[in-house]
A and B are shown apart, each in its own frame.
Chain A
Amino acid sequence: MEAGVVPIRNQAQQLLGLATLPLTRSLSLQRSRLSWVGELQPTPLSERYTVGIEATPTHRPRVSVISPALVESAAKLPHVFEDGCLCLCFSWQWDHTKPIARTIVPWASEWLLFYELWKATGLWLGGGHEEPLDTDGPNPATTAPCDPDVLLRAV
């Protein structure tokens, strides 16, 4: 855990963390389901994107770009699931003790930066992996990182 960052214990703390971000446009918490909408502009040359996050205590946050619409179908975009949600990390790189405001939100902005560069160059320059790593032994990389079932088994 980053120095000075207190581990998150519940959805209300996640909500408070997101509420402190000036780029937050709307925020709600209903029956432990946290919904956030914010406006991200990864660089001064970039578009302003409206991004949504849905998070529950048992599922990995689902991150989607609300507007402007992504240029390609999910099947063609790097690091996007079939439902259009962004895949930002391996499963072991995020858990519910980590503040969404300091992990998922900056990572989403970074995804948007590399998305614009992908549109410009045809290359995904943000690194990462397309397929499960082929390694021996237990490696969270061999599981789908945004798979809620995988996350549920882990908690």
Chain B
Amino acid sequence: MPNHIGYDGNSWLVPNPVEPRENFADKWSAHPELAVAFYAWLERLQEDLQDARESEGIDRAVLRLSESFGERPITKAAARLGETYRGARERGALAFTAGSGILSASGAIPVRHHDFYGGRGRAH
């Protein structure tokens, strides 16, 4: 992301990737504290992304990323991830990698249809 931040000697440039004529940093010259805050956030984000990659467990990655992006959007993204996996299984598009157990569209063993059932401490 730092590579997308420019300075032309006069003003900061952070072009909107969807609409390049829009400059996200157009107020930074008048309010340099915005740039300072943004760089602090960016540094924290890079740490959080690295931690999320190294964290063990989706739940821990969600916790780390929530610190940068906020709990609500990250939790929503996690729920969407679950819906995606479930949808793939229901469509017969989910597969299992025999070497690791990783579930994806490209594993060698198709995950057969099944329904989780029961539980919550019930007896067998």
Contact = CB atoms under 8 A, between A and B. Distances in A.
A90 to B, nearest CB: 5
Given A89-B115, A129-B117, A82 B122 contact: yes
B111 A148 contact: no
Given A42-B103, A128-B115, A129-B115, A116 B124 contact: no
B109 A106 contact: yes
A41 B112 CA distance: 18
- Size category of the A interface is 35 or more
Interface stretch (A7-15, A16-24, A28-36): A16-24
B15 interface: no
A42 B111 contact: no
Interface string B87-104: 001100010101111110
B4 to A, nearest CB: 25
Interface stretch (B6-14, B21-29, B34-42, B73-81): B73-81
B52 to A, nearest CB: 7
Interface string B25-66: 000000000000000000000000000110111110111000
Contacts of A77: 119-121
A78 B110 CA distance: 24
Nearest to A103: B112
Contacts of B82: 113-114, 117, 121, 123, 125-126
A73 interface: yes
A105 B90 CA distance: 17
Contacts of A106: 96, 101, 103, 109, 111-112
Interface of B: 52-53, 55-59, 61-63, 75, 78-79, 81-83, 85-86, 89-90, 94, 96, 98-103, 109-124
13 contacts: A22-B100, A23-B99, A40-B101, A74-B120, A74-B121, A76-B121, A77-B119, A80-B120, A103-B112, A103-B114, A106-B103, A128-B117, A130-B120
Interface of A: 2, 20-23, 38-48, 73-83, 85, 87-90, 93-94, 101-103, 105-107, 109-114, 116-117, 119-121, 123-130, 141, 144-148
Given A114-B82, A148-B124, 13 more contacts: A22-B100, A43-B103, A46-B56, A74-B119, A77-B119, A80-B121, A87-B118, A109-B102, A110-B103, A114-B85, A124-B116, A130-B118, A141-B117
